[in-house]
Chain A
Amino acid sequence: MQTVFSIGVDALAYGMVLFVISIGLSVTMGLMRVVNLAHGAFAMIGGYIASYAARDLGLAYAVAVMLAVAGTILIAIPIERLLYRRIYGQPELTQVLMTIGITFCIIGIANYVFGPTLKTIPTPETLREPVSLGFRTVSSHRLFVIACGAAVALGLWYFIERTAFGVKLRAAVDNAAMAAALGVRTQVVYAVSFAVAVGLAAFGGVVGAELLPIEPYYALRYMVTFLVVVSVGGAGSIPGALAACLLLGAIDTTGRYLMPEFGEFFFYLAVIAIVWLFPRGLAGRAK
């Protein structure tokens, strides 16, 4: 029984890490209809900035996180203006080509600037201490990530469903021409959503770095995982992404505990089963 709880905690923590890192991709893919394979690259940029700020400059963790988010958005703005703007509304395959190209470039530059070694982001003392849950201990960092996941989910939900900007965003997504006719400046809406998505990527990259460490190939290594999680959840749906992350996290963790040899099989068979049952994703909307 204790083992079951223990696995449950691990599964929840892993699922939340996946959620925090992937949710930004869900925004770009679901709301902006861009297959953004460079999502991991932006998460990586965030990680590098935070690592540099916290480790080399010795800044506090919270400051490093904020710097990472702001810095990544700053880097992303010209990329959005020059490159992404050309692929809004283009066929998916064109978007794939462009964003893979961007990913390659960012990897190359990161490799050149920061070198190929792993970069860590020093966490404050309080996040390093193990916390006792009675039946086991977990690192407080994991609890922090779970809390971040919950906060992001709520915040994003509020942002999209309850704010004036969210209304504009949804209008622009459903019918860009109509929204433009109603006076919504769709270019601005897209730019802001892109910034939000990139900011979330950077945030996820930083808080998830304990599990998915920062190195130049981060951007490619975890691309598939992000893509799978978002698509299984149904792109653009926050509850869907959350459900997918928790479900896949649970299946992955349990599978790896019960039969570690077949961990990969468990995960991908589960993916096939879920998509088979929900061909549009867990919370997929009909087109």
Chain B
Amino acid sequence: MAMLSNSDTLSVTSDRRARLTRDAVGVLVILALGVAGYVLFPNNLALLTRITAIALLVLSLDLVTGYCGVATLGHAALFGAGAYGAGIAAAHFGITDPVAMLAVGIIAGSIAGLISGVVVLRAHGLPQLVLSIAIIHLAHEAANKASGWTGGSDGLSGIMPDAVFGVWQFDLWGRTAYVFGIVLLVVTFVLLRQIVRSPFGMLCRGIRQDPVRIRAMGGSVHGTLIRMYIISGAVAGAGGALNAISTQVVGLDSLSFTLSAEALVMLVLGGTGSLYGALLGTVTFLWFEDVVSAANPFHWLTIVGALLIAVVLFAPKGLYGSLAAYFERRGRKNP
């Protein structure tokens, strides 16, 4: 018995080390890609920042769809809430410190997450999807109606964020915005890695696989999902705020069904239920879209469609899921 507990504590520490190493690798990969983006594409930073903001939305979607199994086509409501929250704070209340704007965005996103969660979790499957669609349309209409606050369909302009910590101005090349975004992404990623592996994350995965079992274990399904929705709202809100800060404008498109659907497509493309999948899906989709739409602004949609079909046919678990499965198989063949 003593032996056993001894080896157990041993494995606890070695486990922890292995996990930390893996996380460190993940963070380093993101940072390396971030630096590579900065060095290799110094003229594309605006696009890269936009990818970063959307990546936060897709990560946030992964939390509820990938980890909890909630189907939603209305997740942009959380993103838009963050964007408008930060934008309105800056344009109407003079809160122009980027970190403060970010905080407002996170809070606005969390509240939107709570509301969405309460409504969406009422049903399952298709009706759930429809509830989420209803939410995004209502949010879109509400923002359109409240044009005094949101600028309506003309978009909310006049967002002039201060320099970050009073030092780094937002410049034409978008360098500050890019670094701000990458730092935000890395911090979020580290926090989310913790959360998805925590007991809470395990509970969520359990709920996705079998909510009846979770109830039979005395777990609260609804309460857990609502909490995850709030976290998801915070992440999406951060993405929205980043978008508002970096582009200095917020449009109704940030509260649109289109953006929600695109986010879902990116997530499934990358692979659900994995943070890496969410990131990979976002980068692949947006980069691909940018390249083909620049190459042929008139008919690129067909090529994107073909890409989606190809992914379903040849990488049914999503890009990351299929890659991981491939390496797992190879690893087993030659250990």
Q: Are A and B in direct contact (Cβ within 8 Å)?
A: yes
Which residues of A are interface residues toward B (Cβ below 8 A)? 29, 35, 83, 86-87, 90, 92-94, 96-98, 100-109, 111-112, 224, 227-228, 230-232, 235, 261-262, 264-265, 268-269, 271-272, 275-276, 278-281, 284
Contact partner of A279 (CB less than 8 A), chosen from B127, B137, B265, B311, is B127
Q: How large is the interface on B (under 10, 10 to 19, 20 to 34, 35 or more residues)?
A: 35 or more
Q: Compute how far the CA of A224 lies from the CA of B260 in the bound complex, rounded to whole angstroms.
A: 12
Interface set, chain B 296-320, CB cutoff 8 A to A: 299, 301-309, 311-313, 316
Q: Compute how far the CA of A276 lies from the CA of B261 in the bound complex, rounded to whole angstroms.
A: 23
B304 in contact with A104 (CB, 8 Å): yes
Is there a chain A Cβ closer than 8 Å to B248's Cβ?
A: no
| Interfacial chain B residues near A86, Cβ < 8 Å | 312-313
A101 in contact with B129 (CB, 8 Å): no
A112 in contact with B129 (CB, 8 Å): no
| Interfacial chain B residues near A90, Cβ < 8 Å | 316
Q: Compute how far the CA of A35 lies from the CA of B125 in the bound complex, rounded to whole angstroms.
A: 11
A231 in contact with B257 (CB, 8 Å): no
A108 in contact with B137 (CB, 8 Å): no
A93 in contact with B312 (CB, 8 Å): no
Considering only CB atoms, which chain A residue lies closest to B258 in the complex?
Answer: A220
Is there a chain A Cβ closer than 8 Å to B123's Cβ?
A: yes
Q: How far is the CB of A76 from chain B (nearest CB, A)?
A: 15
Q: Compute how far the CA of A264 lies from the CA of B172 in the bound complex, rounded to whole angstroms.
A: 39
Q: Compute how far the CA of A286 lies from the CA of B179 in the bound complex, rounded to whole angstroms.
A: 51
A108 in contact with B301 (CB, 8 Å): yes
Whether A92 contacts B301 in the complex (CB less than 8 A), given A86-B312, A264-B141, A265-B141, comes out as no
B127 in contact with A224 (CB, 8 Å): no
Whether A112 contacts B123 in the complex (CB less than 8 A), given A97-B269, A272-B134, comes out as no
Considering only CB atoms, which chain B residue lies closest to A264 in the complex?
Answer: B141
> Can you give 29 contacting A-B residue pairs, CB < 8 Å?
A87-B312, A93-B71, A94-B268, A94-B312, A94-B316, A96-B268, A97-B269, A97-B308, A98-B308, A100-B305, A100-B308, A101-B306, A104-B304, A104-B305, A107-B301, A107-B305, A108-B303, A109-B302, A112-B299, A112-B302, A224-B137, A227-B133, A228-B133, A230-B126, A231-B129, A265-B138, A265-B141, A268-B135, A272-B135
B65 in contact with A231 (CB, 8 Å): no
| Interfacial chain A residues near B265, Cβ < 8 Å | 96-97, 100
Interface set, chain B 59-87, CB cutoff 8 A to A: 65, 71
Q: Compute how far the CA of A265 lies from the CA of B138 in the bound complex, rounded to whole angstroms.
A: 6
Q: What 10 A-B pairs are tightest by C-beta distance, nearest first?
A: A104-B305, A108-B302, A101-B308, A105-B305, A101-B309, A279-B123, A268-B134, A231-B126, A98-B312, A231-B130
Considering only CB atoms, which chain A residue lies closest to B141 in the complex?
Answer: A264
Is there a chain A Cβ closer than 8 Å to B122's Cβ?
A: yes
Interface of A, helix, strand, loop or mixed by DSSP: helix
Q: Digit string of B131-173 for contact with A (CB within 8 Å is 1, else 0)?
A: 1011101100100010000000000000000000000000000
Is there a chain A Cβ closer than 8 Å to B245's Cβ?
A: no
B312 in contact with A281 (CB, 8 Å): no
| Interfacial chain A residues near B124, Cβ < 8 Å | 279
Interface set, chain B 216-266, CB cutoff 8 A to A: 257, 261, 264-265
| Interfacial chain B residues near A92, Cβ < 8 Å | 71, 125
Q: Compute how far the CA of A235 lies from the CA of B129 in the bound complex, rounded to whole angstroms.
A: 13
Is there a chain A Cβ closer than 8 Å to B52's Cβ?
A: no
A96 in contact with B264 (CB, 8 Å): yes
B264 in contact with A103 (CB, 8 Å): no
Q: How far is the CB of B212 from chain A (nearest CB, A)?
A: 12
Q: How far is the CB of B13 from chain A (nearest CB, A)?
A: 38
Q: How far is the CB of A40 from chain B (nearest CB, A)?
A: 13
Q: Compute how far the CA of A269 lies from the CA of B141 in the bound complex, rounded to whole angstroms.
A: 12
| Interfacial chain A residues near B129, Cβ < 8 Å | 227, 231
Q: How far is the CB of A83 from chain B (nearest CB, A)?
A: 6
| Interfacial chain A residues near B135, Cβ < 8 Å | 268, 272
Contact partner of A101 (CB less than 8 A), chosen from B126, B299, B312, is B312
Q: Compute how far the CA of A94 lies from the CA of B269 in the bound complex, rounded to whole angstroms.
A: 9
| Interfacial chain B residues near A108, Cβ < 8 Å | 299, 301-303, 305
Q: Compute how far the CA of A268 lies from the CA of B123 in the bound complex, rounded to whole angstroms.
A: 15
Considering only CB atoms, which chain B residue lies closest to A35 in the complex?
Answer: B126
| Interfacial chain B residues near A224, Cβ < 8 Å | 133, 137, 257
| Interfacial chain A residues near B306, Cβ < 8 Å | 101, 105
Which among A227, A271, A281 has the highest number of chain B CB atoms within 10 Å? A271
